Chain A
Amino acid sequence: MTTVGAVRELMVKRLEAESLDGEGRREMEMALEELDVMWEELQGQAALLVRENERYAEFFQYAPDAYLITDAGGNIREANEAALELLRSPRGEVVGRPLSEYIAADDRVSFLSRSVGLVLGAMVNPAAWRAQLLPREGAALAAEFSVRAIPLKKSGVGGLCWLMRPAT
């Protein structure tokens, strides 16, 4: 039995002990039934959200493209599997680090100015650009970046979602 069910049962018992007239009792029972329905609806809503969260979070993780989510400070909050492969780094090393650390020095200033502009709500032109990506191991590689604003999980404040593709 759910906690709310137990509380409801207690209330029914108390009702039985109280000297309510027939109408008062009926009204109270109807109110309790209504509460049951609302409770079930709320639980259903929670279950649906959990399933949807799992599906969309799973999609982020296994999208065929490399995606990163950064916060207003440019630090990486999330990285999917394809991004970790591209950066050749384990998740523990990537999350929390500034994305700019993975950008070659020559491209870093331009990269940072675009990022700051985006965080401040400016339009970026062009919407996609190239920069040299520095994976943890191996040589730098030319990558195409595109970015869009996205609300961050939990806080809902603005973050940036980066799509990175090896340039062809």
Chain B
Amino acid sequence: MELEELKTIWLDLRAHVDQLAGERQQYYDFFEQATEAYVITDLYGTIADANGAAVDILQRRKRYLRGKPLAALVALEQRSEFRRRLRALGSREPGAERSWRSIFESPGLRTDVELSARLIDRPGGPGGICWRLEALA
């Protein structure tokens, strides 16, 4: 009897995991395979995830990017300006811009980028930022 019950519970959890995996696929594909370059950060600009197109622009491995401040990839001379805009955005300052230009730096490469940002709304307030990075010719 207990074995039967155990088997049922096990199969239920397995089915739940399979369903979650199926649901994850749509949103994961949406993010990862987008032709646009997207980065997800917390409100302080710490990178939670970057898709393949963003990795191409930032010229860093995904594993390197996770947990790094996005500001650290901005050219030194523009970093304080980036942080100022980030603070304004995260604290919903009136008039805070959602789009601006910046320069990203990787070893041996500087890339002009148009940044667009949108706050992630959660019931308790903004919970992070979704960024689009567009490399300018």
Quick one: which of B5, B14, B21, B30 contacts A49, CB cutoff 8 A? B21
Indicate if the CB atoms of B16 and A152 lie closer than 8 Å. Answer: no
Quick one: which of B6, B16, B38, B121 contacts A63, CB cutoff 8 A? B38
Q: Is B118 an interface residue (CB 8 A)?
A: yes
| B binding-site residues for A, Cβ under 8 Å | 2-3, 5-6, 9-10, 13-14, 16-17, 19-31, 33-36, 38, 40, 48-49, 98, 116-121, 127-128, 130-132
Quick one: which of B5, B23, B36, B118 contacts A53, CB cutoff 8 A? B23
- B17: chain A residues at CB < 8 Å are 42, 45-46, 49
24 contacts between A and B (CB under 8 A): A4-B6, A7-B6, A11-B2, A42-B14, A42-B17, A46-B13, A53-B27, A58-B128, A60-B31, A62-B119, A62-B120, A63-B38, A64-B98, A64-B132, A82-B118, A146-B35, A150-B33, A151-B26, A153-B22, A153-B23, A153-B26, A156-B25, A159-B26, A163-B36
How many chain A residues touch B (CB < 8 A): the figure is: 43
Indicate if the CB atoms of A60 and B25 lie closer than 8 Å. Answer: no
The contact string, 1 if C-beta is below 8 Å from chain B, for chain A 2-42, is: 01100110110010000000000000000000010001001
- A146: chain B residues at CB < 8 Å are 35
Q: Is the interface of A mostly helix, strand, loop or mixed?
A: helix
- A81: chain B residues at CB < 8 Å are 118, 121
Q: Is A43 an interface residue (CB 8 A)?
A: yes
Question: Given the known A-B contacts A42-B14, A55-B49, are A150 and B132 also in contact in the complex, defined by CB atoms under 8 Å?
Answer: no
Q: B29: shortest Cβ distance to chain A, in Å?
A: 5
Quick one: which of B2, B6, B22, B27 contacts A59, CB cutoff 8 A? B27
